[in-house]
Chain A
Amino acid sequence: MELGPYLLFASLEGLVHAAVLSLIALGLSLVFGVMRIVNVAHGEFFMLGAIITWWVSSLVSGNPAIGFLLALLVVPFIVGITAVFSDWLILRHLKYDPEATIIATIGILYIIQQFALMTFGPDARPVEQPFNIRLDLYWFGFSAYKFFVILSAIILLITIWLVMTKTKFGLILRATQLDSEIAQAFGIPISRVYNIVFGLGAAIAAVGAVLIVPIQQAHYLMGGEPLLLAFIVVIIGGLGSLKGTVAAAILIGMSDGIISVFFSPNIAKILATLLVVVVLIIKPNGLFGTTKT
């Protein structure tokens, strides 16, 4: 393929990747930023979103778009409630101790994964694309649905940004993130905020899952790689920084797309990991991270 179309194809692939990655990483970053805990089970909430999407869409017969829209409404809610429940059942009893919560979320990871294996089974299951349109771009074809994924992710990211900066709820989240003790002194119910944030983080990842499943199929082991990439994104972008997370997701997603196409996907992963090392040495708080005083 000629260089121009080659680059165009790589960039489009990279953008789809970046769109979904930014949603997953944003959920992880939100949880870390507000609650100061590392949620190792985050990838499994993503996977849970994918398999529930399959389940919802298989319940609805007829036009696949109906099942998809229903999944877009229902799945983030179910996954969010699951996360809220696991926070209520486990994490709050650990007083959100950073080390203990890592171990606990590893446990949650295995519980969700094995639950999926026992109920959903070991097979990859496809979800039909809500619309099956192939755009012929002369040198290659590209699915119209992939453009829809990019667009949806952009809309969702803007919505989250507006909620964080313009609403009272966003103000409460930012206050808790800045200093939870002072926030509590001002009457913010910290434990409830933590509970909601944990659910919200998982729900955002679940939206990413609903968007990706018509492209990639649902499988019980699909949570591993996104978790790793989300960690890379969050570390590069600065833990807890919304802007940084999105910027890093675009950087990693695009470079992954382009390097994968021109060289090999393995080299893309190696370079992303190297970038983490470099960022940690030069800017230990990430590109957009602020030093905590």
Chain B
Amino acid sequence: MKKNSKNNFSRRKLMKSVAAAGTVAVMPGFVNYSQASSSAPIRIGFQVHRTGIGAAYGRWYDRTTQAAVKIINDSGGINGRPVEIISEDDGTDPKRGAEALEKFANQHNCDVAFGTLFSHVVIGSAPRAGELKLPYFVVSEGHHVASGMLNRYTLQPGITDVKSQVQAMAPFVKDNLGKKVTMVYPDFAFGHDHRDYFSAAFEARGGEIIAKVPIPPTESSFSKYFPKIPRDTEVLYHVMVGPAVLTFVKELGEFYGSKGPKLFGFIDSVEAVDLNTPGLEFLDGSYFWEGNPRYAQDNQTDHDQFYRSAVGVDKNGASVSDPKDVSTYAHMFGCWETLHIIKKGMEESGYSNVKDRSKLIEAVESMKNMPLSQAHPQGAKIFNGKTHQTFGHQYITKMTNGKLVLAHTTSIEDTFYPDEVDYTKQSF
């Protein structure tokens, strides 16, 4: 077996590496990281849904992440050190997700792991992150972080969770659309959060959920589920994920035409889908929850403008290089914001190597107000260090002439609910 390289590090090798470092330092465009005690990069393991049912999200999470890292590195990196992203495809699969974390910790020597969206992958990976003592920053929306199901090493500081989102939607649906709701949702953890927390919040306001229609997230044809929607439904609440979302909305339009109930959907049902696809005309006039409005609105902030152009997204939420390549705009800001939070946490804790991981977590836990800024282009947020979950504004847009136009913005307080866990009491 090879000996530890530290022991046979010769003088010649040392000279070589000094010379190499010197060459790099004088190269044009090289950002000066000289303030740092070590200029080795901060390595962030990026668990990405490159394949499997989350691939469309993965593609845009990747673009957002690369854009954010470029901004961070161009302005001097973290603690004077450049950031390096190590990507691993998890196949949108919990088992592979856990394996990716293992690789980050043991093979790639990553400082932290980050990026996962699909809730079953988060739930499958987080226990391993706890065992590996690897800080795991998820961008998932699931209520599993704040519910207390996970551990001290798993945090969700850059995106709000489903429980807070649906709770803020319930009054709007009840007051503007109707009292009798049928819910259509994907049959796994993320959909169950919708089922449980929306129905609770809606019924608490005097509304009624008259039917619940779960659909497997791997389903490819949906018509057969629609007859289960009762005729007296006033509002159809729909949320769907996976590669077949376009088929889902198309078949919904085929089934109802213009005669159906009013529609309130989570943008997930049409995320990464071109809304001008033939067959989607029936969506006009329907409402959507959006984490971040896909179309640039009249009241667009400078921060959204900056973020949008940095990632390469046009005014309609599609790629600047291909108007057919529609982004997952309502979700992907979470990657941008999370990376900025990791930067801030590392700077506040004076993070230098993996031994400081617990200091980093404590630094993030102590964060509270995150004002609207370049680091938080989606809007201001309030982070709850005890539950490891962030809270923020939610947006409701109305489909008007093929575009989603902002109809309502909730306050941050609308999304609050009592704490269900205090992770800070768990030991590292």
Contact = CB atoms under 8 A, between A and B. Distances in A.
Contacts of A261: 224, 227-228
Contacts of B226: 140
B350 interface: no
A61 to B, nearest CB: 13
Instruction: Place the interface of chain B in its size category.
Output: 20 to 34
Chain A binding surface, main DSSP class: mixed
B256 A141 contact: yes
Contacts of B227: 1, 6, 9-10, 140, 261
Interface string A132-154: 10101000111100000000000
Given A134-B257, A141-B256, A126 B243 contact: no
Given A1-B231, A128-B278, A257-B224, A123 B243 contact: yes
Given A132-B278, A141-B255, A217-B246, A117 B51 contact: yes
B224 A13 contact: yes
Contact of B246 (A9, A10, A122, A126): A126
A100 interface: no
A260 B55 CA distance: 28
Nearest to A136: B257
A122 B93 CA distance: 14
Interface string A215-235: 111010110010000000000
B278 A140 contact: no
Contacts of A140: 226-227, 255-256
Interface string A242-276: 00000000000000010011000110000000000
Nearest to B274: A126
Interface string A110-142: 000000010001111010110010101000111
Given A141-B254, A143-B254, A265-B219, A132 B224 contact: no
Instruction: Place the interface of chain A in its size category.
Output: 20 to 34
Contacts of B55: 121-123
A134 B254 contact: yes
B223 interface: yes
B56 A216 contact: no
A129 B55 CA distance: 24
Interface in B193-248: 216, 219-221, 223-228, 231, 243-244, 246-247
Interface string A46-88: 0000000000000000000000000000000000000000000
Nearest to B243: A124
B279 interface: yes
A215 B250 CA distance: 9
Nearest to A135: B254
Interface string A147-185: 000000000000000000000000000000000000000
Given A136-B257, A215-B247, 14 more contacts: A9-B227, A10-B227, A121-B55, A123-B272, A129-B278, A132-B279, A134-B253, A141-B255, A215-B221, A216-B221, A217-B243, A222-B220, A265-B216, A265-B219
What 10 A-B pairs come out closest when comparing CB atoms?
A122-B55, A124-B243, A260-B224, A122-B51, A141-B257, A1-B227, A261-B224, A216-B220, A143-B254, A219-B243
16 contacts: A6-B227, A122-B55, A123-B55, A123-B56, A123-B272, A124-B246, A132-B278, A132-B279, A141-B255, A141-B256, A143-B254, A215-B221, A216-B220, A219-B220, A219-B244, A221-B243
